[in-house]
Amino acid sequence: MRISTSTWLVAFACFFSWGALAARPTAEWQLASVASSIGAFVLLIRLVVRGAIKWRERGVAYVISCVLIVAASPVGIAVGRTVRTVVWSHDLDRYTAAAQWVLNNSKPDSSNPVPLPSRYADLGYIVYHERDELCGTRIDFLWAGGFPVKHVVRRYATNPKWVSVEKCYRDWGRIKPISSNWYEIAD
């Protein structure tokens, strides 16, 4: 029983691209994930047809190949989410220091991004600082994005009740608390 090289390559591509997309969503990883999924779909059709034709000689190998390809994406996503959590835990002190820097060095204004110093530049490609009575102080680190319009934001909020006020989150579809005063939100 031999698993073909193309099966291993497609399974690895699905695992890696979906894992990378789950770890840090970008348009590039989204494109790679879609491409690997299309490749997996084509290969699965080929394996099912060949498996039906040559069931007695190589049926078990074709079934194992199909399972390997189908399992690669969800396992990659699970590993990617774990990597994302570990990296967040590692970078939490830097995010907190960057939020404190923003609080000390900028005025709240939702229309103008806050330029971060170089030591924090990798934490978000755009940072916004907002404050109002209803929602409190919020600092948004636009951290990841996708295509056509998808943003993942790590938000520092001084008022934890902002999540219960629709005006404070109406533009975001998903809100996930990730640590004290920190939330991951996405559209």
pLDDT at 42 over 90: yes
pLDDT for position 180: 87
Local confidence band at 9 (pLDDT 50, 70, 90 cut-offs): very high
pLDDT at 150 over 80: no
Considering only residues 44 and 162, tell me which one the structure prediction assigns the higher pLDDT: 44
Local confidence band at 148 (pLDDT 50, 70, 90 cut-offs): low
Dihedral pair phi/psi, residue 143, rounded to 5°: -105, -35
Nearest CA to 64 among 17, 107, 20, 7? 7
Nearest CA to 33 among 76, 67, 2? 76
pLDDT for position 144: 79
pLDDT for position 120: 92
pLDDT for position 96: 95
User: In a 10 Å sphere around its CB, with 0-12 CB exposed, 13-18 middle and 19+ buried, how is residue 133 labelled?
Assistant: exposed
Q: Which residue has the tokens 């494109």?
A: 31
pLDDT at 147 over 70: no
Token reading at 145: 């994005």
Considering only residues 144 and 70, tell me which one the structure prediction assigns the higher pLDDT: 70
pLDDT for position 94: 95
Local confidence band at 58 (pLDDT 50, 70, 90 cut-offs): confident
pTM score, whole prediction: 0.81
Tens-digit pLDDT profile for residues 93-133: 999 999 999 999 888 876 788 999 999 989 988 899 988 88
Mean pLDDT of the chain: 89
Whether 117 and 147 have beta carbons less than 8 Å apart is answered as no
